[in-house]
Amino acid sequence: MSNHELANMFFDIADMLEIEDVQWEPRAYRKAALSISTLPVDVKQLYEQGKLTEIEGVGKSIAASIEEYVKTGTMTKYEKLKKKYPLDFTTFRKIQGMGPKRVYALYKKLRIKNLDDLRSAIEKNKIRKLEGFGEKSEEQLRHNMESFSRVKSERRMLGYVIDDLEALVEKLRKSGFFERVEMAGSSRRMKETVGDFDILAVSGNPEKGMDFFVKMKEVDEVIVKGSTKTSVKLDMGLNCDLRVVETKSFGAAMQYFTGNKDHNVKLRKIAISKGLKLNEYGVFRKEKSIAGDTEKEVYASLGLDVMEPELRENMGEIEAARTHSLPNIVGYGEIQGDLHMHTANSDGINTLDEMLSAAKKWGHKYVAITEHSRSLPVAKGLDDKRFEELFKKIDRVNEKSDIKILKGVELEILKDGSLDLSSQTLKNMDIIIGAIHQWTRGQDRRTLTNRMLKAIDTGLITTIAHPSGRMIGKREAFDMDFQRIYESCKKNGVFLEINGFPDRSDLPFNMVKEAKSFGVKFTLGSDSHGVDHVRFIRLATAIARRGWLERKDVVNTMSYNDILKLRR
């Protein structure tokens, strides 16, 4: 059971209740669905901790439905309604002009249950003849349906699916049907969002291997099955292509299917300029293969150094590979700690002890506990006094703990650029993450830029939280003069954060690369709000790598003692 799935069920219930003219309830279900769909933790985990009603909009009765679903795999309320209305509300909801009442009218009159039915009814001009519809609204529906079909391939945030993908790859490896299995595509490049998974394998018995693959429990639906390529839909809602290739062209296939496309196009041009042919089978001079079994050879045959997959975005890496000046990007294993974490003291769900043991298990040597400050009441921000109490506790824990804690704050940058909390409280902190969370509406580019610059100028801030403010799929980056901000950060010795929380992934990697060119350095944070998020430091590191950062550019490669000295 995923949050996504559960949220869709509640949205469906809301739609069906609306058809039944039930008052209020649809709103309540939508509210619950919305908060579940954006929840940073697994609902199942909250259930196990008895914390369901802490979810915004989830009262006793919705909590009971969740519990029933977790325990039995069915939800009576949903099943009952669905029997009466066996319609694909989840899809219809995404098409403009297909509100519940209209969906129901189309079902009653034309038995339209799903997208295919809708399409064929429109093609046969059946809808225009219905009372209350007409030719114009049929045309409008046709248009809306087509624009839905174009965008329907939903991308997913890598942070939420990478572990499942790796587990899947591991299962294929252990199946005994493949000699090699590797992931390629955007997930190998650690792109923040992925459209589908691409897996490459070598197998002496591809038919049996593919049989095994399509029977895995993660596979919901087989799209095409062949002995060299099989495409399926996985239960996590993403498609996955498994390709079986020959050992002698494994490197060429890895290169080709890792991409990205622009990177490949440029490589192919280089090949042509050298009188060579490059494709997923190898590099060829006339018909003779000159490279193919390793990526390194493929690149070398084109006069290029091989680069880490994260760099393959056609952002200058090919030029750098030619002049042997690729950056030595920071390694995942070089990160010593996490510089952005919350606990139940503000809006996290786990205690300090729980967060520490999860961080220790991950391998961190230190973490910064950076609770929200008082002016963010929705996140239960702390005032000066509560920070003082928390820091006393941290001092006590630090004495005995082998994983060290940095005393920090995720500090509200107020509307005018001044800082939340007293400078006395701030003085006692090891790390201050300045953050803009609110009052941005109505602030134009100049006002917002000046607000940020003023905060940087205070000389009190260590780093800027999720600097662009973007939320994937929800909110664009702030309209700010980022170049001036980079300049000012460099001048004031203020870092920029790379926030690894999947929905944020902020700074975005291309902006990281630009900020680096101004001489800015970076802090990495998982922005954990629970033990399940500690793993997001890896995503922050991936963005750092994709932004060409080297060890020296990343504060988290420093030791605890050296970080303590930053503000002393």
Q: Cα separations (Å) of 251 from 191, 208, 426, 460? A: 21, 23, 53, 50
Kindly tell me which of 256 and 366 has the beta carbon lying closer to ligand DGT: 256
Instruction: Provide the minimum distance between the beta carbon of 191 and ligand DGT in the complex, in angstroms, as a whole number.
Output: 6
Kindly tell me which of 198 and 338 has the beta carbon lying closer to ligand DGT: 198
Burial label for 565, CB within 10 Å (0-12, 13-18, 19+), is exposed
What DSSP designation does 568 have? Answer: -
Instruction: Provide the minimum distance between the beta carbon of 145 and Ca ion in the complex, in angstroms, as a whole number.
Output: 25
Strand-strand pairing, 219-225 and 196-202: unpaired
- For position 500 contacting Ca ion by CB under 5 A, the verdict is no
Give the residues across from 285 on adjacent strands. 288
The entry of ligand DGT, Ca ion, none that residue 514 binds, CB within 5 to 8 Å by partner kind: none
What DSSP designation does 166 have? Answer: H
Kindly tell me which of 183 and 359 has the beta carbon lying closer to ligand DGT: 183
Tokens for 409, please give them: 């704050």
Tokens for 6, please give them: 């559960």
- The CB density around residue 70, as the number of other CB atoms within 10 Å, is 16
- For position 241 contacting Ca ion by CB under 5 A, the verdict is yes
Exposure letters 87-109 (e unless 16+ CB within 10 A, then b)? bbbeebbebeebebebbbbbbeb
Kindly tell me which of 264 and 499 has the beta carbon lying closer to ligand DGT: 264
- For position 185 contacting Ca ion by CB under 5 A, the verdict is yes
The entry of Ca ion, ligand DGT, none that residue 336 binds, CB within 5 to 8 Å by partner kind: none
Largest interatomic CA distance in the chain: 78
The entry of ligand DGT, Ca ion, none that residue 57 binds, CB within 5 to 8 Å by partner kind: none
- For position 182 contacting Ca ion by CB under 5 A, the verdict is no
Kindly tell me which of 100 and 259 has the beta carbon lying closer to ligand DGT: 259
Kindly tell me which of 252 and 494 has the beta carbon lying closer to Ca ion: 252
Kindly tell me which of 177 and 257 has the beta carbon lying closer to ligand DGT: 257
Instruction: Provide the minimum distance between the beta carbon of 265 and ligand DGT in the complex, in angstroms, as a whole number.
Output: 5
The entry of ligand DGT, Ca ion, none that residue 555 binds, CB within 5 to 8 Å by partner kind: none
Binds Ca ion (CB under 5 A): choice among 12, 15, 182, 198: 198
| Euclidean distance between CA atoms 245 and 240, whole angstroms | 16
Instruction: Provide the minimum distance between the beta carbon of 251 and Ca ion in the complex, in angstroms, as a whole number.
Output: 19
Instruction: Provide the minimum distance between the beta carbon of 312 and ligand DGT in the complex, in angstroms, as a whole number.
Output: 8
The entry of ligand DGT, Ca ion, none that residue 265 binds, CB within 5 to 8 Å by partner kind: ligand DGT
Residue 346 main-chain phi, psi, to 5 deg: -115, -115
Instruction: Provide the minimum distance between the beta carbon of 196 and ligand DGT in the complex, in angstroms, as a whole number.
Output: 5
**Which residues sit at the interface with ligand DGT, rule CB under 6 A?**
185-186, 191, 194-196, 198, 256-257, 259-261, 264-265
DSSP string covering 60-122:
HHHHHHHHHHHHHS--HHHHHHHHH----HHHHTTSTT--HHHHHHHHHHH---SHHHHHHHH
The entry of ligand DGT, Ca ion, none that residue 89 binds, CB within 5 to 8 Å by partner kind: none
Instruction: Provide the minimum distance between the beta carbon of 249 and ligand DGT in the complex, in angstroms, as a whole number.
Output: 14
Kindly tell me which of 187 and 343 has the beta carbon lying closer to ligand DGT: 187
Kindly tell me which of 165 and 278 has the beta carbon lying closer to Ca ion: 165
Instruction: Provide the minimum distance between the beta carbon of 194 and Ca ion in the complex, in angstroms, as a whole number.
Output: 6
The region that residue 400 occupies, defined by phi over 0 for left and psi between -120 and 50 for alpha, beta otherwise, is: alpha
Instruction: Provide the minimum distance between the beta carbon of 75 and ligand DGT in the complex, in angstroms, as a whole number.
Output: 33
Q: Residue with CB nearest ligand DGT?
A: 259
Strand-strand pairing, 229-234 and 239-244: antiparallel
Q: Which stretch binds Ca ion (CB under 5 A): 81-89, 191-199, 260-268, 554-562?
A: 191-199
The entry of ligand DGT, Ca ion, none that residue 430 binds, CB within 5 to 8 Å by partner kind: none
Taking alpha carbons only, the member of 458, 459, 474, 469 closest to residue 417 is 458
Kindly tell me which of 238 and 355 has the beta carbon lying closer to ligand DGT: 238
- The CB density around residue 436, as the number of other CB atoms within 10 Å, is 23
- For position 192 contacting Ca ion by CB under 5 A, the verdict is no
Kindly tell me which of 157 and 448 has the beta carbon lying closer to ligand DGT: 157
| Euclidean distance between CA atoms 102 and 278, whole angstroms | 53
The entry of ligand DGT, Ca ion, none that residue 260 binds, CB within 5 to 8 Å by partner kind: ligand DGT
Exposure letters 480-503 (e unless 16+ CB within 10 A, then b)? bebeebbbbbeeeebbbbbbbbbb
Exposure letters 11-48 (e unless 16+ CB within 10 A, then b)? bbbbbbbbbeeeeeebebbbbbbbbbeebbbebeebbe
Binds Ca ion (CB under 5 A): choice among 196, 211, 280, 384: 196
Residues contributing to the site for Ca ion (CB under 5 A): 185-186, 196, 198, 241
